[in-house]
């Protein structure tokens, strides 16, 4: 069996036996990763319209001089099976969350429902299947919407949004809603995704063909938890030196050129975070249908929920041209494939500022040891230019 076939078999085992509570790390994200690096950090909590309790962290510069002249707020939105810690996995000079704070931005870190930093609900237990009854659709229209509202309310400012991977799906969907996008000044999207039908990763294609998402739901499993007992054992099996973890990662995301694979053990102390089976099913629907649409419940349930037989699409042509966009994507990214990125660009009415790096893969935009020079400096120049133009209006 090839690597992708073996990985697919292990993943099926993981999903079928993925039970048990999510391990909680003592203290919050501030105490775990941010304050220990010398950055002031405060924990915040807010509630979505459908009752989920979300944790956010507010991070500022190590310099008292820079803190005294704090700039506009920027909200960081992570990808699938990740949480806000993903922005702080490398050193202070390499991690976007730290870099933005030291550049004087008012950094806010978002964590979507179900992750270890946002693992609560006003009435539902994580053991209830109803707790996991959501996909990226709810993450966009409830979680991201509430995070943006919360930051806007606290700071009294329009904010910048930075998303990676699933964070870009959420952002593009949310920005089609006028009441959400009016609170956003500009957005930077890393590995932007609205369409997924041209992904080239053989592993994910295999899972889609095997209809693993439908099997999981049919078996009654609602939470995808790599940190369950069996999940931990499988992760250890995958990364125990027989086949290097970088190979497994490449099988899923495409080849990554520039992250420090000697830090994988450290990354795995925090990643991956839980998600829902329904979320995976929604993503696989996108691959099969080639659409950027709401969750497909089937014709009759669609009629009841949406008053139409097919789920409504997220029409990204409705994103206003007044919203400044910056996008970075890579030639080795097998999830945010170049053809799909071009499809996204074609649908948009605006013309985003673009950064294309041929050798970059999906994870490089987050964890590359060269990302500051390759990616983040340009993103910060973009934010500063937007702020400068706004100040003259």
Cα(47)–Cα(2) distance, integer angstroms: 45
Which is the catalytic residue, given 18, 60, 135, 165?
165
Structural element, H or E, at residue 324: strand 324-330
333 is catalytic: yes
CA distances (Å), origin 280, targets 166, 274, 284, 327: 11, 11, 6, 24
Give the tokens for residue 118.
């946002």
165 is catalytic: yes
Give the tokens for residue 393.
């209006």
Give the tokens for residue 5.
């076939």
Nearest to 292 by CA among 274, 326, 318, 273: 318
> 310-316 contacts: CB < 8 A, separation 24 or more?
314/172, 314/173, 314/176, 314/194, 315/176, 315/347, 316/172, 316/175, 316/176, 316/194, 316/292, 316/344, 316/347, 316/348
Beta-strand (E) ranges in 48-101?
Answer: 52-59, 73-77
Residue 221 half-sphere exposure, CB side, CA atoms within 13 Å? Answer: 23
Q: Which residue has the tokens 């089609």?
A: 176
Give the tokens for residue 199.
């992904």
Question: Can you spell out the DSSP letters for 175-186?
Answer: TTSHHHHTTEEE
Which is the catalytic residue, given 362, 364, 368, 374?
362
Cα(310)–Cα(380) distance, integer angstroms: 40
Structural element, H or E, at residue 159: strand 159-164
Q: Could you tell me which residues come within 8 angstroms of residue 153 by beta carbon, excluding any fewer than 6 positions away?
A: none
Which is the catalytic residue, given 85, 106, 333, 340?
333
Catalytic residues: 165, 333, 362
């Amino acid at each position: 069996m090839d690597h992708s076939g073996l990985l697919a078999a292990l993943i099926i085992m993981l999903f079928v036996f993925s039970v048990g509570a999510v391990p909680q790390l003592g203290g919050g994200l501030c105490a775990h990763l941010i304050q220990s690096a010398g950055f002031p950090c405060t924990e915040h909590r807010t509630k979505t319209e459908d009752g989920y309790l979300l944790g956010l962290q507010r991070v500022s510069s190590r310099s008292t001089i820079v803190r005294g002249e704090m700039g506009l707020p920027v909200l960081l939105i992570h990808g699938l099976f990740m949480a806000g810690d993903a922005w702080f996995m490398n050193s202070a000079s390499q991690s976007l969350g730290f870099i933005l704070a030291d550049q004087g931005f008012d950094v806010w870190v978002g964590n979507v429902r179900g992750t270890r930093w946002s693992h609560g609900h006003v009435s539902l237990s994580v053991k209830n299947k109803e707790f996991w009854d959501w996909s990226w659709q709810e993450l966009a229209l409830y979680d991201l919407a509430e995070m943006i509202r919360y930051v806007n309310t606290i700071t009294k400012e329009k904010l910048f949004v930075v998303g990676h991977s699933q964070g870009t799906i959420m952002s593009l969907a949310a920005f089609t809603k006028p009441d959400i996008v009016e609170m956003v000044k500009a957005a930077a999207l890393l590995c932007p995704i609205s369409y997924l039908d041209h992904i080239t990763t053989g592993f994910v294609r295999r899972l889609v063909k095997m209809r693993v998402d439908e099997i999981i739901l049919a078996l009654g499993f609602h939470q995808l938890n790599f940190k369950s007992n069996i999940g931990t054992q499988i992760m250890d099996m995958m990364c125990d030196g027989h086949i290097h973890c970088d190979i497994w990662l490449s099988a899923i995301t495409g080849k990554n050129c520039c992250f420090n694979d000697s830090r994988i053990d450290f990354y795995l102390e925090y990643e991956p975070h839980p998600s829902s089976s329904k979320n995976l099913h929604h993503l696989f629907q996108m691959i099969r249908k080639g659409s950027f649409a709401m969750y497909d419940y089937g014709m009759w349930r669609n009629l009841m929920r949406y008053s139409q037989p097919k789920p409504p699409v997220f029409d990204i042509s409705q994103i206003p041209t007044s919203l400044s966009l910056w996008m970075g994507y890579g030639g080795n990214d097998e999830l945010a494939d170049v053809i799909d990125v071009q499809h996204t660009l074609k649908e948009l009415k605006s013309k985003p500022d673009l950064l294309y790096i041929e050798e970059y893969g999906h994870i490089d935009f987050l964890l590359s040891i060269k990302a500051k020079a390759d990616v983040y400096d340009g993103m910060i120049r973009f934010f500063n230019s937007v702020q400068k133009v706004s100040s003259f209006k």
